[in-house]
Chains A and B, each alone.
Chain A
Amino acid sequence: MRKVNKAYDRYASAVFLLIGVSFVWESRKISESSYGSNVGPDIFPMGLGIIMILLSIRLFYEVMKTKTSASEEKSNPDYKRFLLILVASLIYAYFLEDIGYVIGTFLFLLFSFQVIERGKWLVSLIVSAVFSYGVYYLFVKILEGSLPGFPSWMNLG
């Protein structure tokens, strides 16, 4: 927000250029015309890809033109907590179907509560348990939705 991150924008313009090029390249493989019309499914993505290429070049040019602003470092970002919660979310998402919603959500919440602020175990335990079982109960028992509540070997439904 406050300061223009040149390095990021440079990499971003390269990534967007790559995206544009690959969409143009790949849309050439789409079979051209379908029903006698000369506007097939390839035109739209190809046109967009070309626009993307032009825009990314313009972005690169803009980044080059801006002078490096005085680097006023902001207060140190908290990447440790972020990474811990990110990894926890990924594990939670990946194993959700195997471990079941209730247990998975309970463990994820308990872990994340403690990552953000250690202590108050009892409150953390209660909030995690109430939320994970509460959502499951509301959704599956009352609204009759389907959600893998518990691991299949537990035979709890």
Chain B
Amino acid sequence: MMLDAKIPAGKLAEKWDNYKEHAKLVNPANRKKLDIIVVGTGLAGASCAASLAEQGYSVKSFCFQDTARRAHSVAAQGGVNAAKNYKNDGDNVYRMFYDTIKGGDFRSREANVYRLAECSAELIDQAVAQGVPFAREYGGYLNNRSFGGVQVSRTFYARGQTGQQLLLGAYQALMRQESLGKVKTYTRHEMLELVVIDGKAKGIITRDLVSGQIERHAANAVVLATGGYGKVYYLSTLAMGCNSSAIWRAHKKGAFMSGVSWIQFHPTCLPQSGEHQSKLTLMSESLRNDGRIWVPKKPGDERVPKDIPEEERDYYLERRYPAFGNLSPRDISSRAAKERIDAGCGVGPMKNAVCLDFSKAIKEQGKDKIKEKYSNLFSMYEKINGINAYEQPMLISPAAHFTMGGLWVDYQLMTTIPGLFALGEANFADHGANRLGANSLLQACVDGYFIAPYTIPNYLADEIKADKITTDHPAFAAAENEVKAQLEQFLKIGGHLSADHYHKMLGKLLYDKCGLSRSKKSLEEAIEEIKQLRASFYKDLKITGDDKVNSELEKAGRVADYLELGELMCYDALTREESCGAHFREEYQTADGEAVRNDKDFCFVSAWEWKGKDITQELHKEPLVFENVELTVRSYK
């Protein structure tokens, strides 16, 4: 199958305008006759649902949380990028485009990335109008700061709650539409199946997580804005409920998955402290503006970090990457930390952490200044660890965080199933093999506020003539039966191991064999082990409780999907015989441990097609064409 990204003609800077000028429209009188389902109420989902309802479409919005405001967008602390050039420091759309495409190690589409940068400025306008309380300078103008991987100051922020505040803006816009009767929100509902009729997405099957009721919902288009799947590693920065089920079940219905193994490990997270742990809390990357990262020079140093004298400390980021230092991009910083930890220089009780040290910044700027910038992060650190980071270095470690991979989408954010769109982290589109800090909130918002409101109507314009599908269609009954059969199966297995047990086993396996670094050997082993784990899951799983409110039953479905997705991640990593961005294959590195990309053979986006249970999936390739940037070795030295 030939993948057509449908990139508009014209010069890079004119493509999006060309698209908008020629996109088809739907007559305002017809819009309310068209139903759109939006799954997920994070920044991408809430902004898309609200924007489409504002245009007059009938929107149904779904989330598994108890209210639409809880989605994991809330956890993004540091900021959102926009090429406003308010600092007069040489920023512009092209530079932002270039930083992002280089940050992604030249594995994303030029046209998509340019559009992301192009729409960034408008997002700040939108958020401010909604009442998002961004940081201000004393003159009343918007303030911003620097983030990893760039040399300008383009990150807008609302203290350490940028994601929360942006989401509240989108959530409030959604609630406004609900009050006007244009959106109906279904909270505590989980999508468990996509309904495809005559090759087009026509609805979903959901489970009401309170009554246990399996429900059918029909629509003219379905939008998945269900976030990333970093929780596949069990220990991650993600919320406990984050899952891959919506996109994975769409994948099994024919939507291709791309860049599946491109998962970002965030360098500044709290290290694991024991087997009981459920979560690795993220500490904002903004801390790296003032914190210096180091480990003891001597492996196995048993001293408390603050007792180790200056000359015995190795500031390895400043040493290896003098140009960017502590603000080197995430993939590079995480890998450098792993390299030192593996060399035996890790600190902390489990020797699995590095130091993030503020002593120099406190000496130079004073404790009050540091407090003003980061007090919420320092107090969070103290709440979790009981340690005062003003007096001794924080201990940090890389953790699974963001999935650059996701459903393959074309320029219109439409998957390989017509009528099925994927927005935000759920798609693969803009970040290539590594995402820059503060680009995640941006992409989610741009997809939802500015792109989908053009591309979905363009699709719907032809749907107005199509026959109206109702939930009486046999495809709905078939999908519903599949869902019911699976739930019954989980409840019946009657083994002795919990869903969490399998999730933890899978997570550990993936951390070791398909994590920050991978090799042919480790990946082949992982594939075999995942197959065994999956077989055991269907034999030894134990789910207690009934078919109503049952968090164990919810987890079982998600883990079942992870056990298939995890295997595909390994295949994706195995077939990509190069190192790029977050994907570091041990066989492809320089003598001093830097990634070696192979543009000759691997300058493409992988797109996997589901071929059936226990059958190897088929790899399709979308070649990446670069007309505006030169592919260079990504150096931050």
Please indicate whether A and B come from the same complex rather than being unrelated chains. no
